Amino acid sequence: MDGGDDGNLIIKKRFVSEAELDERRKRRQEEWEKVRKPEDPEECPEEVYDPRSLYERLQEQKDRKQQEYEEQFKFKNMVRGLDEDETN
């Protein structure tokens, strides 16, 4: 690397300057204009920021899937077979 700014190279850093944010908004707005339908708003919707860690987001998805799975078989688990005494 010659130290130049390569567009394909992504460097992870915590600080983002206002100029970088403006540039991202500008690119996102240009992309929005390409795919925007007449009934869509003029301004592109802002990206939703989720401050939770990756672990927390994945744990939430796992818990939600587990609840759906349990709900699916909830009724099935409530029904029990007849005992020998009940059948007589």
Interval 39-73: pLDDT, tens:
777 777 777 777 888 999 999 999 999 999 888 87
Closest to 10 measured CA to CA, from 73, 19, 20, 18? 20
Question: Higher-confidence residue: 57 or 81?
Answer: 57
| pLDDT for 27 beyond 70 | yes
Look up the pTM and report it.
0.39
Torsion of CA 32, 37, 40, 41, to 10 degrees: 50
